[in-house]
Amino acid sequence: MSRRHMLLPITLHPELPPQNMFCHLHRRFFNSSSCLAKKKTNAEHRWLTRQSKDPFVKASHTLNFRCRSAFKLLEIDDKFRLLQPGFSVVDCGAAPGAWSQVAVHRVNSAGTDSTSPLGTVVGIDLLNIPPLDGAHFLSNHDVADCITHAKLLDLLPGGQAHILLSDMAPNASGFRELDHERLVKLCASLLVLAEKILRPGGTLVCKYWDGALARHLQDKFCLAFGSVQSLKPNASRKDSAERYFLARNYRRPVKG
């Protein structure tokens, strides 16, 4: 068995129901944390009902993930093997910290495997992120701010990251096209961050909402990365426009 799977032996299988996918995992692999509190209003009744029936929500509680989104990253990483022990990872839009939980174990930034290289995980969010062993969080920080960029250069070994992760999303306005446009702009801002901290050959995983500007965003990523593909993890709800771009083999622009 490889060291990678000694850290977090998860393999998602689309033919198996999610509750069976994860029941073999042991609780000791994950840091304890409760999910964010949810307002129980009449307007959210259907949302709460859906949550109560969602097998990924139940699995996140069982495994002490901070929210169900962890399974999206787990599935992507199980398939493409992006997060390796010793890698440096920047998690953009990290709150409440579920993707950082996955990254900490996959890159060994908490040092739980003494035989593997020690990685680094830095999370960023405008919101407060509860502490997590093995991760350094920049709460109340803007991903696009130069001050944030400067702090990342200090925190990352050699000032460079192997992987940029982004599960960022704007506050919903209620207008689908406007929200789509706002998220595309957030994703595009990651190219500025990548130019400062992503090492050549590095990887970017970012959430976007499908829509009219998705192809334009993909074209932008294609100028900076050797390959770009769109993914829809099983943990993403089928009725959601949510998708993820996986961009690999970063080519840092040459200054003229």
Q: What is the pLDDT of residues 206-227, one digit of tens each?
A: 999 999 999 999 999 999 999 9
Tokens 């789509």 belong to: 180
Count of positions (residues) in the chain: 256
**Residue 42 pairs with which residues in a beta bridge?**
none
Percentage of the chain lying above the pLDDT 70 cut: 74
Evaluate if residue 246 carries a pLDDT over 60. Answer: yes
Euclidean distance between CA atoms 35 and 61, whole angstroms: 8
More confident residue, 32 or 64: 64
**DSSP element (H, E) containing 139:** strand 136-139
Is residue 131 within 8 A of residue 145, CB to CB? The reply is no
Euclidean distance between CA atoms 131 and 137, whole angstroms: 7
* Cα–Cα distances in angstroms (integers) from residue 22 to residues 11, 12, 102, 113, 238, in the given order: 9, 8, 14, 21, 20
What does the DSSP assignment read for 77-92?
HHHH----TT-EEEEE
Residues annotated catalytic, as ranges: 207
Euclidean distance between CA atoms 120 and 106, whole angstroms: 10
For residues 65-99, b (16+ Cβ closer than 10 Å) or e, as one string?
Answer: bbbbbbbbbbbbbbeeebbbbebbbbbbbbbbbbb
Is residue 118 within 8 A of residue 20, CB to CB? The reply is no
**Residue 137 pairs with which residues in a beta bridge?**
123
CA 23 to chain centre: 22
CA 169 to chain centre: 12
Q: What is the pLDDT of residues 137-176, one digit of tens each?
A: 999 999 999 999 999 999 999 999 999 999 999 988 989 9
Give the model's confidence band at 240: pLDDT under 50 very low, under 70 low, under 90 confident, else very high.
Answer: confident
How much is the CA Rg of the chain, to the nearest whole Å? 18
Q: What is the pLDDT of residues 74-119, one digit of tens each?
A: 999 999 999 999 999 999 999 999 999 999 999 999 999 999 999 9
**Residue 198 pairs with which residues in a beta bridge?**
161
pTM: 0.78
* Cα–Cα distances in angstroms (integers) from residue 243 to residues 101, 105, 224, in the given order: 21, 24, 20
In the prediction, which pLDDT does 174 show? 86
